Amino acid sequence: MARFVLLAALAGIWPSAAIRAQGTDQMHAWCFSNSSDEQVILACSTIISSGRDSKSDLAAAYFNRAIAYTSKGQSDAAIRDYGQAIALEPRNVQALTSRGLIFLTTGQTVRAQQDFDQAIKIDPANAQARFNRGVLLYRQRQYDLAIADYDQAIKSEPNHADSYNNRGLAYLDKGDFAHALEDFDRALKMVPNETRYLINRCAARAAGGKAEAALPDCARALQQRPDSAEALYSRGLAELALKRNDKALADFDHAHKLVPHDARYVYALGVARRKGGDLSGGDADIAVARSISVGIAGEMARLGVKP
């Protein structure tokens, strides 16, 4: 499964519904504007403890404090606060999507999907919820469902380059290289020097029969990030397709040393070793790769990487 899937960012500070004179209430100014994390937590905690504000303002205070907790790496506290915001306003799509994102990044995929599903039920066109559910579905290898969510995210926000990138990855892992390349091309038109997009297009070109055209993309990516394991692996795919096995072997070996437990790197290294005549070494690498990821052989075969 290809890497470099992005998550949508958390929503920004939620302003108070109340109209207040500037500077008359420091706690409200800090809680409901772009203040430091410490100021937001202090101010929103004071507002929550007082219990004097409206239901909508309390929900906003919980929401904003959750963002500050997330920024400080306090996921459990953020989840609790998003829960309080949702209890006060059950149709709050921002809170559902933001909590779902934390669940997803902390490996709680069932709870993440529940939040994303509920957010999309309330607002089917919500780009952030669709995007993040697409990430979840992609990680579950449900590529067609992920593509459907990215389709909707793009429909709602057609200038969001990461949606094209992520949809391209889903197409790439399906083996639909033409559509993958279209999406990576679109993403790169929006953000021409984005390293991740260059790496992904390099891999798609390598797997899709355009290995020579892949190499400049990987060269640009490696110029920006010389120790990118993903860029080395993608260049290795192109070199392997061009039957330059020694160069492919060097790239796969370098990628593997940088990230030892990525099944793709180990499997590709094994294939290159076998093609270079080291059958026992290649078979050992392939066995290790299969122990990391049971379905790795099928995934790599779709990219044209076969023993």
Please, where are the H alpha helices in the chain?
26-31, 37-50, 55-71, 75-88, 93-105, 109-122, 127-139, 143-156, 161-174, 177-190, 195-207, 211-224, 229-241, 245-258, 263-275, 279-292, 296-302
For 66, 102, 103, 125, the CA distances from 111, given in Å and listed in that order, are: 17, 10, 6, 21
Domain ranges of the chain: 1-157
Q: Which of 63, 92, 93, 56 is nearest to 80 (CA)?
A: 63
Cβ(285)–Cβ(249) below 8 Å: no
Q: Which residues contact 48 (CB under 8 A, 6 or more apart)?
A: 58, 61, 62, 65
pLDDT of residue 30: 87
Tell me how crowded residue 305 is: count the other CB atoms within 10 A of its CB.
24
Q: Give the 3-state secondary structure of residue 174.
A: helix
pLDDT of residue 28: 81
Q: What is the Cα–Cα distance from 69 to 80, expressed in whole angstroms?
A: 10
Q: Which of 165, 156, 205 is nearest to 187 (CA)?
A: 165
For 25, 73, 141, 168, 295, the CA distances from 136, given in Å and listed in that order, are: 41, 21, 9, 15, 18
Cβ(116)–Cβ(129) below 8 Å: yes
Q: Give the 3-state secondary structure of residue 173.
A: helix
pLDDT of residue 5: 47
CATH topology of domain 1-157: 1.25.40
pLDDT tens string, the chain, 307 residues long: the values are 444 445 555 454 444 444 333 333 788 888 888 789 898 898 899 889 887 878 888 999 999 999 999 999 999 999 999 999 999 999 999 999 999 999 999 999 999 999 999 999 999 999 999 999 999 999 999 999 999 999 999 999 999 999 999 999 999 999 999 999 999 999 999 999 999 999 999 999 999 999 999 999 999 999 999 999 999 999 999 999 999 999 999 999 999 999 999 999 999 999 999 999 999 999 999 999 999 999 999 999 999 999 9
Give the CA count within 13 Å in the CB-facing half-sphere of 80. Answer: 5
